Structure 1
Amino acid sequence: MEFSTAADELYRVVPEEFVATRTRLVREAKAEGDAALAKRIGGLRRPTLSAWAVNLLARSAAGDLGRLLDVGARMREAWASGGGLGDLEQQRARLVAALLRRAGEIAAEAGRPLRDQAVREVEDTLQAATVDEEVAAEVREGRLPQPRSHTGFVPAGFALAPEPPPKEQSKPAPPEKPARREKKAERPKVTRTSAARARRAETLARKADEAERALADRAERADAAKRVADDASAEVGRLRHELDRATAERDSAARKAERAEQARARAEEAAREARKAAKEARRAADRDAAHG
Protein backbone atom coordinates (compact mmCIF):
# COMPACT_ATOMS: atom_id res chain seq x y z
CA MET A 1 0.00 0.00 0.00
CA GLU A 2 1.22 3.51 -0.86
CA PHE A 3 0.38 6.61 1.15
CA SER A 4 -1.01 8.51 -1.84
CA THR A 5 -3.38 5.63 -2.66
CA ALA A 6 -4.61 5.44 0.93
CA ALA A 7 -5.01 9.23 1.21
CA ASP A 8 -6.95 9.44 -2.06
CA GLU A 9 -9.32 6.71 -0.85
CA LEU A 10 -9.80 8.43 2.51
CA TYR A 11 -10.63 11.85 1.13
CA ARG A 12 -13.02 10.38 -1.43
CA VAL A 13 -15.43 8.76 1.06
CA VAL A 14 -18.16 10.78 2.77
CA PRO A 15 -16.97 12.35 6.05
CA GLU A 16 -19.09 9.95 8.15
CA GLU A 17 -17.14 6.98 6.75
CA PHE A 18 -13.72 8.61 7.16
CA VAL A 19 -12.82 7.23 10.61
CA ALA A 20 -13.86 3.66 9.81
CA THR A 21 -11.96 3.77 6.50
CA ARG A 22 -8.88 5.25 8.18
CA THR A 23 -8.96 2.54 10.88
CA ARG A 24 -9.14 -0.16 8.21
CA LEU A 25 -6.24 1.33 6.23
CA VAL A 26 -4.12 1.68 9.39
CA ARG A 27 -4.81 -1.96 10.23
CA GLU A 28 -3.88 -3.03 6.69
CA ALA A 29 -0.62 -1.04 6.82
CA LYS A 30 0.24 -2.67 10.17
CA ALA A 31 -0.59 -6.09 8.73
CA GLU A 32 1.91 -5.35 5.94
CA GLY A 33 4.52 -4.54 8.60
CA ASP A 34 4.74 -0.82 7.70
CA ALA A 35 4.35 0.93 11.06
CA ALA A 36 5.54 4.28 9.65
CA LEU A 37 2.86 4.23 6.96
CA ALA A 38 0.23 3.23 9.53
CA LYS A 39 1.20 6.20 11.71
CA ARG A 40 1.15 8.57 8.75
CA ILE A 41 -2.30 7.40 7.67
CA GLY A 42 -3.54 7.61 11.26
CA GLY A 43 -2.51 11.28 11.35
CA LEU A 44 -4.82 12.27 8.48
CA ARG A 45 -7.74 14.43 9.62
CA ARG A 46 -11.38 13.98 8.70
CA PRO A 47 -12.59 16.69 6.29
CA THR A 48 -15.54 18.96 6.91
CA LEU A 49 -18.42 18.66 4.47
CA SER A 50 -17.29 21.71 2.48
CA ALA A 51 -13.65 20.54 2.34
CA TRP A 52 -14.85 17.11 1.20
CA ALA A 53 -16.86 18.76 -1.60
CA VAL A 54 -13.76 20.67 -2.76
CA ASN A 55 -11.78 17.41 -2.67
CA LEU A 56 -14.41 15.82 -4.92
CA LEU A 57 -14.00 18.69 -7.38
CA ALA A 58 -10.31 17.81 -7.65
CA ARG A 59 -11.41 14.36 -8.89
CA SER A 60 -14.72 14.94 -10.66
CA ALA A 61 -14.16 18.39 -12.16
CA ALA A 62 -10.39 18.47 -12.57
CA GLY A 63 -10.64 20.31 -15.93
CA ASP A 64 -12.61 23.33 -14.69
CA LEU A 65 -10.69 23.37 -11.41
CA GLY A 66 -7.38 23.35 -13.28
CA ARG A 67 -8.54 26.24 -15.45
CA LEU A 68 -9.54 28.21 -12.34
CA LEU A 69 -6.16 27.63 -10.74
CA ASP A 70 -4.43 28.65 -13.97
CA VAL A 71 -6.45 31.88 -13.98
CA GLY A 72 -5.38 32.42 -10.36
CA ALA A 73 -1.73 31.94 -11.29
CA ARG A 74 -2.05 34.52 -14.07
CA MET A 75 -3.73 36.95 -11.67
CA ARG A 76 -0.89 36.57 -9.18
CA GLU A 77 1.63 37.17 -11.95
CA ALA A 78 -0.25 40.31 -12.98
CA TRP A 79 -0.24 41.63 -9.43
CA ALA A 80 3.45 40.80 -9.00
CA SER A 81 4.37 42.64 -12.20
CA GLY A 82 2.04 45.54 -11.54
CA GLY A 83 0.12 44.84 -14.76
CA GLY A 84 -3.61 44.87 -15.37
CA LEU A 85 -5.95 41.95 -14.83
CA GLY A 86 -7.89 42.33 -18.09
CA ASP A 87 -10.81 39.89 -18.07
CA LEU A 88 -9.21 37.52 -15.56
CA GLU A 89 -11.64 38.51 -12.82
CA GLN A 90 -14.58 37.73 -15.11
CA GLN A 91 -13.05 34.38 -16.03
CA ARG A 92 -12.56 33.60 -12.36
CA ALA A 93 -16.16 34.48 -11.53
CA ARG A 94 -17.51 32.22 -14.30
CA LEU A 95 -15.33 29.27 -13.31
CA VAL A 96 -16.12 29.63 -9.59
CA ALA A 97 -19.85 29.69 -10.36
CA ALA A 98 -19.56 26.57 -12.54
CA LEU A 99 -17.54 24.75 -9.90
CA LEU A 100 -20.03 25.69 -7.17
CA ARG A 101 -22.85 24.18 -9.24
CA ARG A 102 -20.78 21.04 -9.85
CA ALA A 103 -19.89 20.74 -6.15
CA GLY A 104 -23.58 20.93 -5.24
CA GLU A 105 -24.43 18.24 -7.81
CA ILE A 106 -21.78 15.70 -6.79
CA ALA A 107 -22.45 16.24 -3.08
CA ALA A 108 -26.18 15.66 -3.63
CA GLU A 109 -25.43 12.55 -5.71
CA ALA A 110 -23.43 11.21 -2.76
CA GLY A 111 -26.38 11.84 -0.43
CA ARG A 112 -24.76 14.84 1.33
CA PRO A 113 -26.33 18.01 -0.13
CA LEU A 114 -24.58 21.27 0.68
CA ARG A 115 -26.35 23.88 2.79
CA ASP A 116 -25.74 27.62 2.49
CA GLN A 117 -22.84 27.68 4.97
CA ALA A 118 -21.04 24.83 3.22
CA VAL A 119 -21.59 26.48 -0.19
CA ARG A 120 -20.03 29.71 1.13
CA GLU A 121 -17.06 27.76 2.48
CA VAL A 122 -16.57 26.01 -0.87
CA GLU A 123 -16.66 29.40 -2.61
CA ASP A 124 -14.22 30.93 -0.10
CA THR A 125 -11.83 28.02 -0.65
CA LEU A 126 -11.97 28.35 -4.45
CA GLN A 127 -11.41 32.11 -4.21
CA ALA A 128 -8.51 31.60 -1.80
CA ALA A 129 -6.95 29.10 -4.23
CA THR A 130 -6.76 31.80 -6.90
CA VAL A 131 -4.83 34.23 -4.70
CA ASP A 132 -2.71 31.92 -2.55
CA GLU A 133 -0.32 29.51 -4.23
CA GLU A 134 -0.18 27.16 -1.23
CA VAL A 135 -3.96 26.90 -1.06
CA ALA A 136 -4.00 26.25 -4.81
CA ALA A 137 -1.62 23.30 -4.31
CA GLU A 138 -3.78 21.90 -1.50
CA VAL A 139 -6.94 22.21 -3.57
CA ARG A 140 -5.32 20.58 -6.59
CA GLU A 141 -4.15 17.66 -4.41
CA GLY A 142 -7.70 16.98 -3.20
CA ARG A 143 -6.93 16.21 0.45
CA LEU A 144 -8.21 19.28 2.31
CA PRO A 145 -9.37 18.63 5.89
CA GLN A 146 -10.72 22.19 6.35
CA PRO A 147 -12.02 24.93 4.04
CA ARG A 148 -9.63 27.78 3.29
CA SER A 149 -10.15 31.53 3.15
CA HIS A 150 -8.18 34.64 2.28
CA THR A 151 -8.95 38.17 3.48
CA GLY A 152 -9.24 40.53 0.52
CA PHE A 153 -8.25 39.94 -3.08
CA VAL A 154 -4.51 40.64 -2.94
CA PRO A 155 -2.42 37.48 -3.19
CA ALA A 156 -0.42 36.46 -0.14
CA GLY A 157 3.01 38.06 -0.08
CA PHE A 158 2.16 40.94 -2.43
CA ALA A 159 1.51 44.57 -1.54
CA LEU A 160 -1.71 46.32 -2.38
CA ALA A 161 -1.94 47.67 -5.91
CA PRO A 162 -0.83 51.30 -5.96
CA GLU A 163 -3.62 53.85 -6.00
CA PRO A 164 -3.45 56.96 -8.21
CA PRO A 165 -1.66 59.80 -6.38
CA PRO A 166 -4.05 62.44 -5.05
CA LYS A 167 -4.18 65.74 -6.82
CA GLU A 168 -2.35 68.58 -5.14
CA GLN A 169 -4.76 70.61 -3.12
CA SER A 170 -4.28 73.72 -1.09
CA LYS A 171 -7.67 73.57 0.50
CA PRO A 172 -8.84 71.03 3.09
CA ALA A 173 -9.54 67.51 1.99
CA PRO A 174 -12.99 66.91 0.48
CA PRO A 175 -15.73 65.25 2.58
CA GLU A 176 -15.15 61.79 1.05
CA LYS A 177 -11.80 61.58 2.83
CA PRO A 178 -13.33 60.70 6.22
CA ALA A 179 -15.43 58.02 4.52
CA ARG A 180 -12.26 56.64 2.94
CA ARG A 181 -10.50 56.61 6.29
CA GLU A 182 -13.52 54.90 7.80
CA LYS A 183 -13.34 52.23 5.11
CA LYS A 184 -9.67 51.69 5.80
CA ALA A 185 -10.32 51.52 9.51
CA GLU A 186 -12.77 48.69 8.92
CA ARG A 187 -10.14 46.43 7.37
CA PRO A 188 -8.41 45.42 10.59
CA LYS A 189 -11.81 44.60 12.07
CA VAL A 190 -12.59 42.25 9.21
CA THR A 191 -9.14 40.74 9.47
CA ARG A 192 -9.45 40.21 13.22
CA THR A 193 -12.90 38.65 12.80
CA SER A 194 -11.64 36.37 10.07
CA ALA A 195 -8.60 35.42 12.11
CA ALA A 196 -10.74 34.72 15.19
CA ARG A 197 -13.10 32.64 13.08
CA ALA A 198 -10.15 30.74 11.62
CA ARG A 199 -8.66 30.12 15.08
CA ARG A 200 -12.01 28.87 16.36
CA ALA A 201 -12.39 26.59 13.35
CA GLU A 202 -8.86 25.27 13.93
CA THR A 203 -9.61 24.66 17.62
CA LEU A 204 -12.83 22.84 16.80
CA ALA A 205 -11.05 20.84 14.11
CA ARG A 206 -8.30 19.87 16.55
CA LYS A 207 -10.86 18.77 19.14
CA ALA A 208 -12.77 16.82 16.50
CA ASP A 209 -9.54 15.19 15.38
CA GLU A 210 -8.66 14.27 18.95
CA ALA A 211 -12.12 12.75 19.38
CA GLU A 212 -11.67 10.86 16.12
CA ARG A 213 -8.31 9.54 17.26
CA ALA A 214 -9.81 8.40 20.56
CA LEU A 215 -12.65 6.74 18.69
CA ALA A 216 -10.21 5.09 16.31
CA ASP A 217 -8.12 3.85 19.24
CA ARG A 218 -11.21 2.40 20.89
CA ALA A 219 -12.25 0.80 17.63
CA GLU A 220 -8.78 -0.68 17.22
CA ARG A 221 -8.85 -2.03 20.78
CA ALA A 222 -12.30 -3.46 20.13
CA ASP A 223 -10.98 -5.12 16.97
CA ALA A 224 -8.05 -6.57 18.93
CA ALA A 225 -10.42 -7.87 21.62
CA LYS A 226 -12.62 -9.38 18.93
CA ARG A 227 -9.61 -11.11 17.38
CA VAL A 228 -8.67 -12.53 20.80
CA ALA A 229 -12.27 -13.67 21.30
CA ASP A 230 -12.30 -15.23 17.83
CA ASP A 231 -9.02 -17.03 18.55
CA ALA A 232 -10.38 -18.27 21.88
CA SER A 233 -13.58 -19.41 20.19
CA ALA A 234 -11.55 -21.26 17.57
CA GLU A 235 -9.48 -22.91 20.32
CA VAL A 236 -12.65 -23.93 22.16
CA GLY A 237 -13.96 -25.40 18.93
CA ARG A 238 -10.75 -27.31 18.37
CA LEU A 239 -10.76 -28.69 21.92
CA ARG A 240 -14.42 -29.62 21.63
CA HIS A 241 -13.64 -31.50 18.43
CA GLU A 242 -10.79 -33.34 20.12
CA LEU A 243 -13.07 -34.15 23.06
CA ASP A 244 -15.75 -35.49 20.73
CA ARG A 245 -13.16 -37.63 18.96
CA ALA A 246 -11.76 -38.94 22.25
CA THR A 247 -15.29 -39.69 23.49
CA ALA A 248 -16.04 -41.56 20.29
CA GLU A 249 -12.82 -43.55 20.62
CA ARG A 250 -13.65 -44.31 24.25
CA ASP A 251 -17.15 -45.48 23.34
CA SER A 252 -15.75 -47.60 20.54
CA ALA A 253 -13.22 -49.17 22.93
CA ALA A 254 -16.00 -49.78 25.47
CA ARG A 255 -18.08 -51.54 22.84
CA LYS A 256 -15.10 -53.67 21.82
CA ALA A 257 -14.43 -54.55 25.48
CA GLU A 258 -18.10 -55.48 25.94
CA ARG A 259 -18.00 -57.72 22.89
CA ALA A 260 -14.77 -59.32 24.11
CA GLU A 261 -16.37 -59.93 27.51
CA GLN A 262 -19.38 -61.53 25.86
CA ALA A 263 -17.09 -63.72 23.73
CA ARG A 264 -15.12 -64.72 26.86
CA ALA A 265 -18.37 -65.63 28.67
CA ARG A 266 -19.50 -67.71 25.71
CA ALA A 267 -16.12 -69.45 25.60
CA GLU A 268 -16.30 -70.24 29.32
CA GLU A 269 -19.83 -71.62 28.92
CA ALA A 270 -18.69 -73.74 26.00
CA ALA A 271 -15.75 -75.02 28.06
CA ARG A 272 -18.09 -75.97 30.95
CA GLU A 273 -20.40 -77.79 28.56
CA ALA A 274 -17.41 -79.58 27.03
CA ARG A 275 -16.13 -80.64 30.47
CA LYS A 276 -19.59 -81.82 31.45
CA ALA A 277 -19.91 -83.82 28.26
CA ALA A 278 -16.48 -85.34 28.80
CA LYS A 279 -17.40 -86.33 32.34
CA GLU A 280 -20.65 -87.97 31.15
CA ALA A 281 -18.70 -89.80 28.48
CA ARG A 282 -16.23 -91.16 31.03
CA ARG A 283 -19.06 -92.34 33.28
CA ALA A 284 -20.73 -94.10 30.39
CA ALA A 285 -17.47 -95.72 29.48
CA ASP A 286 -16.96 -96.85 33.10
CA ARG A 287 -20.47 -98.42 33.22
CA ASP A 288 -19.90 -100.25 29.97
CA ALA A 289 -16.57 -101.61 31.28
CA ALA A 290 -18.21 -102.84 34.54
CA HIS A 291 -20.93 -104.76 32.70
CA GLY A 292 -18.63 -106.17 30.08
Structure 2
Amino acid sequence: MADPLLEIADDLYALPLADFTPARDALAKEHKADKQLAAGIKGLRKASVAAWVVNLLVRRDPDQVDQVLAVGEALRDAQENLDATQLREFTKQRRQLTASVTTTARRMAREEGVRTTQSVADQVEATLTAAMLEPDAARAVRSGLLVTALAATGLGDLDLSGAVALPDALGFSATARPAPAPDPSQRPQLHVVPDPDADEKARAAADERLAEARSVLKEAEKEHRATRRSVEKLQARTLQVQSEIDELRSRIAELEGTLEEVDDELGEAEAAQAEAEEAVEEARAEMDSARAARDRL
Protein backbone atom coordinates (compact mmCIF):
# COMPACT_ATOMS: atom_id res chain seq x y z
CA MET A 1 0.00 0.00 0.00
CA ALA A 2 1.88 3.04 -1.25
CA ASP A 3 -0.20 5.82 0.34
CA PRO A 4 0.41 5.95 4.13
CA LEU A 5 -2.79 7.94 4.67
CA LEU A 6 -4.86 5.24 2.96
CA GLU A 7 -3.13 2.61 5.08
CA ILE A 8 -3.88 4.53 8.28
CA ALA A 9 -7.47 5.18 7.15
CA ASP A 10 -7.92 1.48 6.41
CA ASP A 11 -6.93 0.71 10.01
CA LEU A 12 -9.00 3.51 11.54
CA TYR A 13 -12.25 2.69 9.75
CA ALA A 14 -11.86 -0.94 10.86
CA LEU A 15 -12.06 0.12 14.51
CA PRO A 16 -15.18 0.00 16.69
CA LEU A 17 -17.17 3.16 16.14
CA ALA A 18 -16.56 4.53 19.65
CA ASP A 19 -12.78 4.10 19.30
CA PHE A 20 -12.45 6.08 16.08
CA THR A 21 -12.12 9.65 17.36
CA PRO A 22 -9.57 9.08 20.16
CA ALA A 23 -7.49 6.77 17.92
CA ARG A 24 -7.55 9.29 15.05
CA ASP A 25 -6.48 12.15 17.29
CA ALA A 26 -3.71 10.08 18.86
CA LEU A 27 -2.39 9.05 15.46
CA ALA A 28 -2.43 12.64 14.21
CA LYS A 29 -0.32 13.58 17.23
CA GLU A 30 1.98 10.60 16.67
CA HIS A 31 2.67 11.74 13.08
CA LYS A 32 2.94 15.46 13.90
CA ALA A 33 6.45 15.53 12.40
CA ASP A 34 4.86 15.03 8.99
CA LYS A 35 2.49 17.99 8.97
CA GLN A 36 0.75 17.00 5.74
CA LEU A 37 0.10 13.45 6.93
CA ALA A 38 -0.98 14.63 10.38
CA ALA A 39 -3.43 17.09 8.81
CA GLY A 40 -4.78 14.35 6.55
CA ILE A 41 -5.32 12.05 9.54
CA LYS A 42 -6.97 14.81 11.57
CA GLY A 43 -9.30 15.51 8.64
CA LEU A 44 -10.68 11.96 8.56
CA ARG A 45 -14.35 12.12 9.52
CA LYS A 46 -16.09 9.65 11.77
CA ALA A 47 -18.47 7.38 9.85
CA SER A 48 -22.20 7.41 10.45
CA VAL A 49 -23.60 4.26 12.06
CA ALA A 50 -24.95 2.99 8.72
CA ALA A 51 -21.65 3.67 6.92
CA TRP A 52 -19.73 1.96 9.74
CA VAL A 53 -21.97 -1.13 9.44
CA VAL A 54 -21.28 -1.32 5.68
CA ASN A 55 -17.53 -0.85 6.28
CA LEU A 56 -17.68 -3.64 8.87
CA LEU A 57 -19.43 -5.96 6.39
CA VAL A 58 -16.82 -5.22 3.70
CA ARG A 59 -14.00 -6.24 6.05
CA ARG A 60 -15.71 -9.17 7.78
CA ASP A 61 -17.13 -10.81 4.64
CA PRO A 62 -15.53 -9.33 1.49
CA ASP A 63 -16.53 -12.39 -0.58
CA GLN A 64 -20.22 -11.76 0.04
CA VAL A 65 -19.82 -8.08 -0.78
CA ASP A 66 -17.96 -8.97 -3.99
CA GLN A 67 -20.84 -11.28 -4.90
CA VAL A 68 -23.36 -8.47 -4.41
CA LEU A 69 -21.28 -6.13 -6.56
CA ALA A 70 -20.84 -8.79 -9.25
CA VAL A 71 -24.59 -9.39 -9.41
CA GLY A 72 -25.13 -5.64 -9.69
CA GLU A 73 -22.64 -5.41 -12.56
CA ALA A 74 -24.33 -8.32 -14.37
CA LEU A 75 -27.75 -6.70 -13.97
CA ARG A 76 -26.48 -3.38 -15.31
CA ASP A 77 -24.97 -5.14 -18.34
CA ALA A 78 -28.17 -7.07 -19.03
CA GLN A 79 -30.63 -4.27 -18.32
CA GLU A 80 -30.88 -2.93 -21.87
CA ASN A 81 -31.82 -6.36 -23.26
CA LEU A 82 -34.42 -7.28 -20.65
CA ASP A 83 -38.16 -6.99 -21.12
CA ALA A 84 -40.43 -5.57 -18.42
CA THR A 85 -41.22 -8.98 -16.89
CA GLN A 86 -37.56 -9.92 -16.62
CA LEU A 87 -36.70 -6.52 -15.14
CA ARG A 88 -39.36 -6.93 -12.46
CA GLU A 89 -38.03 -10.38 -11.60
CA PHE A 90 -34.42 -9.19 -11.41
CA THR A 91 -35.48 -6.20 -9.31
CA LYS A 92 -37.24 -8.57 -6.92
CA GLN A 93 -34.12 -10.77 -6.70
CA ARG A 94 -31.94 -7.71 -6.12
CA ARG A 95 -34.13 -6.60 -3.22
CA GLN A 96 -34.08 -10.08 -1.71
CA LEU A 97 -30.28 -10.16 -1.93
CA THR A 98 -29.74 -6.72 -0.39
CA ALA A 99 -32.25 -7.50 2.38
CA SER A 100 -30.44 -10.76 3.18
CA VAL A 101 -27.00 -9.12 3.22
CA THR A 102 -28.35 -6.28 5.37
CA THR A 103 -29.53 -8.84 7.93
CA THR A 104 -26.02 -10.33 7.96
CA ALA A 105 -24.49 -6.87 8.44
CA ARG A 106 -26.82 -6.11 11.35
CA ARG A 107 -25.82 -9.38 13.00
CA MET A 108 -22.13 -8.48 12.65
CA ALA A 109 -22.78 -5.06 14.18
CA ARG A 110 -24.67 -6.66 17.05
CA GLU A 111 -21.69 -8.94 17.70
CA GLU A 112 -19.59 -5.76 17.97
CA GLY A 113 -22.01 -4.37 20.55
CA VAL A 114 -23.71 -1.89 18.19
CA ARG A 115 -27.50 -1.93 17.98
CA THR A 116 -28.91 -0.91 14.60
CA THR A 117 -32.35 0.64 14.37
CA GLN A 118 -34.65 0.02 11.42
CA SER A 119 -33.72 3.45 10.09
CA VAL A 120 -30.04 2.48 10.07
CA ALA A 121 -30.88 -0.87 8.45
CA ASP A 122 -32.80 0.96 5.72
CA GLN A 123 -29.72 3.14 5.05
CA VAL A 124 -27.48 0.06 4.90
CA GLU A 125 -29.81 -1.60 2.40
CA ALA A 126 -30.03 1.62 0.36
CA THR A 127 -26.22 1.75 0.25
CA LEU A 128 -25.99 -1.85 -0.99
CA THR A 129 -28.67 -1.10 -3.58
CA ALA A 130 -26.72 1.96 -4.74
CA ALA A 131 -23.62 -0.23 -5.10
CA MET A 132 -25.60 -2.58 -7.37
CA LEU A 133 -27.00 0.26 -9.46
CA GLU A 134 -23.96 2.54 -9.81
CA PRO A 135 -20.32 1.51 -10.58
CA ASP A 136 -18.89 4.42 -8.56
CA ALA A 137 -21.05 3.49 -5.57
CA ALA A 138 -19.74 -0.07 -5.86
CA ARG A 139 -16.15 1.21 -5.69
CA ALA A 140 -17.01 3.43 -2.73
CA VAL A 141 -18.55 0.52 -0.82
CA ARG A 142 -15.64 -1.82 -1.60
CA SER A 143 -13.17 0.75 -0.26
CA GLY A 144 -14.48 0.23 3.27
CA LEU A 145 -13.95 3.98 3.80
CA LEU A 146 -17.54 5.19 3.70
CA VAL A 147 -18.45 8.02 6.06
CA THR A 148 -22.09 8.38 5.02
CA ALA A 149 -24.75 6.08 3.60
CA LEU A 150 -25.48 6.13 -0.14
CA ALA A 151 -28.68 6.36 -2.15
CA ALA A 152 -29.01 6.01 -5.92
CA THR A 153 -31.74 5.86 -8.56
CA GLY A 154 -29.75 4.02 -11.21
CA LEU A 155 -29.83 7.06 -13.48
CA GLY A 156 -26.18 7.99 -13.03
CA ASP A 157 -26.96 10.99 -10.80
CA LEU A 158 -25.14 9.76 -7.69
CA ASP A 159 -23.06 12.37 -5.87
CA LEU A 160 -20.17 10.79 -3.97
CA SER A 161 -18.66 14.05 -2.74
CA GLY A 162 -18.19 13.66 0.97
CA ALA A 163 -19.40 10.05 1.00
CA VAL A 164 -15.91 8.55 1.38
CA ALA A 165 -13.10 9.46 3.74
CA LEU A 166 -10.58 10.26 1.00
CA PRO A 167 -10.82 11.07 -2.73
CA ASP A 168 -8.41 8.20 -3.40
CA ALA A 169 -10.82 5.75 -1.73
CA LEU A 170 -12.47 4.94 -5.07
CA GLY A 171 -10.48 2.05 -6.49
CA PHE A 172 -9.10 1.10 -3.07
CA SER A 173 -10.18 -2.22 -1.51
CA ALA A 174 -10.45 -2.52 2.26
CA THR A 175 -8.27 -5.11 3.94
CA ALA A 176 -10.23 -8.20 4.98
CA ARG A 177 -10.36 -8.53 8.76
CA PRO A 178 -12.02 -11.69 10.14
CA ALA A 179 -13.91 -11.41 13.41
CA PRO A 180 -11.41 -11.17 16.30
CA ALA A 181 -10.95 -14.03 18.72
CA PRO A 182 -12.71 -13.71 22.10
CA ASP A 183 -9.33 -12.94 23.73
CA PRO A 184 -9.03 -9.12 23.66
CA SER A 185 -5.27 -9.42 23.28
CA GLN A 186 -5.84 -10.92 19.83
CA ARG A 187 -7.77 -7.90 18.65
CA PRO A 188 -5.87 -5.65 16.21
CA GLN A 189 -4.66 -2.60 18.05
CA LEU A 190 -3.35 0.75 16.82
CA HIS A 191 -0.21 1.94 18.55
CA VAL A 192 -0.71 5.28 20.21
CA VAL A 193 1.59 7.55 22.14
CA PRO A 194 0.72 9.10 25.50
CA ASP A 195 -1.45 12.14 25.03
CA PRO A 196 -1.40 14.98 27.57
CA ASP A 197 -4.86 16.00 26.38
CA ALA A 198 -6.24 12.49 26.90
CA ASP A 199 -8.73 13.49 29.61
CA GLU A 200 -10.15 16.34 27.57
CA LYS A 201 -10.38 14.15 24.48
CA ALA A 202 -11.96 11.35 26.50
CA ARG A 203 -14.61 13.80 27.68
CA ALA A 204 -15.16 14.95 24.09
CA ALA A 205 -15.45 11.34 22.98
CA ALA A 206 -17.86 10.68 25.85
CA ASP A 207 -19.93 13.71 24.83
CA GLU A 208 -19.98 12.46 21.25
CA ARG A 209 -21.01 9.00 22.39
CA LEU A 210 -23.74 10.49 24.58
CA ALA A 211 -25.04 12.58 21.65
CA GLU A 212 -25.05 9.50 19.45
CA ALA A 213 -26.85 7.49 22.15
CA ARG A 214 -29.44 10.25 22.45
CA SER A 215 -29.92 10.16 18.67
CA VAL A 216 -30.37 6.38 18.75
CA LEU A 217 -32.78 6.70 21.70
CA LYS A 218 -34.77 9.37 19.87
CA GLU A 219 -35.05 7.14 16.81
CA ALA A 220 -36.03 4.14 18.95
CA GLU A 221 -38.67 6.19 20.79
CA LYS A 222 -40.02 7.41 17.45
CA GLU A 223 -40.33 3.83 16.22
CA HIS A 224 -41.93 2.82 19.53
CA ARG A 225 -44.54 5.58 19.24
CA ALA A 226 -45.32 4.55 15.68
CA THR A 227 -45.74 0.89 16.61
CA ARG A 228 -47.82 1.84 19.67
CA ARG A 229 -50.16 3.93 17.50
CA SER A 230 -50.46 1.01 15.09
CA VAL A 231 -51.32 -1.36 17.95
CA GLU A 232 -53.89 1.08 19.36
CA LYS A 233 -55.55 1.46 15.95
CA LEU A 234 -55.71 -2.29 15.48
CA GLN A 235 -57.07 -2.77 19.00
CA ALA A 236 -59.81 -0.23 18.28
CA ARG A 237 -60.56 -1.91 14.97
CA THR A 238 -60.73 -5.29 16.73
CA LEU A 239 -63.28 -3.94 19.22
CA GLN A 240 -65.31 -2.44 16.39
CA VAL A 241 -65.33 -5.67 14.39
CA GLN A 242 -66.21 -7.69 17.51
CA SER A 243 -69.10 -5.32 18.20
CA GLU A 244 -70.32 -5.75 14.62
CA ILE A 245 -70.05 -9.54 14.99
CA ASP A 246 -72.09 -9.40 18.24
CA GLU A 247 -74.76 -7.30 16.53
CA LEU A 248 -74.91 -9.72 13.62
CA ARG A 249 -75.19 -12.70 15.97
CA SER A 250 -78.02 -10.97 17.83
CA ARG A 251 -79.74 -10.22 14.53
CA ILE A 252 -79.27 -13.83 13.37
CA ALA A 253 -80.83 -15.12 16.63
CA GLU A 254 -83.75 -12.73 16.15
CA LEU A 255 -84.25 -13.83 12.54
CA GLU A 256 -84.07 -17.49 13.53
CA GLY A 257 -86.91 -16.89 16.03
CA THR A 258 -88.90 -15.09 13.35
CA LEU A 259 -88.24 -17.99 10.95
CA GLU A 260 -89.70 -20.48 13.45
CA GLU A 261 -92.83 -18.35 13.80
CA VAL A 262 -93.17 -18.03 10.03
CA ASP A 263 -92.71 -21.82 9.65
CA ASP A 264 -95.53 -22.40 12.13
CA GLU A 265 -97.77 -19.93 10.33
CA LEU A 266 -96.84 -21.48 6.98
CA GLY A 267 -97.86 -24.93 8.27
CA GLU A 268 -101.23 -23.59 9.43
CA ALA A 269 -101.73 -21.73 6.13
CA GLU A 270 -100.92 -24.83 4.09
CA ALA A 271 -103.44 -26.87 6.15
CA ALA A 272 -106.11 -24.20 5.61
CA GLN A 273 -105.28 -24.17 1.91
CA ALA A 274 -105.76 -27.94 1.70
CA GLU A 275 -109.15 -27.67 3.48
CA ALA A 276 -110.22 -24.86 1.15
CA GLU A 277 -109.23 -26.87 -1.93
CA GLU A 278 -111.25 -29.82 -0.62
CA ALA A 279 -114.28 -27.56 -0.03
CA VAL A 280 -113.92 -26.16 -3.56
CA GLU A 281 -113.90 -29.69 -5.01
CA GLU A 282 -116.98 -30.64 -2.99
CA ALA A 283 -118.78 -27.45 -4.06
CA ARG A 284 -117.96 -28.13 -7.73
CA ALA A 285 -119.24 -31.67 -7.44
CA GLU A 286 -122.47 -30.44 -5.86
CA MET A 287 -122.88 -27.82 -8.59
CA ASP A 288 -122.35 -30.40 -11.30
CA SER A 289 -124.91 -32.67 -9.68
CA ALA A 290 -127.45 -29.85 -9.44
CA ARG A 291 -126.88 -28.83 -13.05
CA ALA A 292 -127.44 -32.41 -14.19
CA ALA A 293 -130.69 -32.69 -12.18
CA ARG A 294 -132.00 -29.47 -13.70
CA ASP A 295 -131.17 -30.59 -17.19
CA ARG A 296 -133.27 -33.73 -16.64
CA LEU A 297 -136.40 -31.68 -15.90
What is the TM-score normalised by the length of structure 2? 0.49
Q: Which of structures 1 and 2 has the bigger CA Rg? A: 1
What is the TM-score normalised by the length of structure 1? 0.50
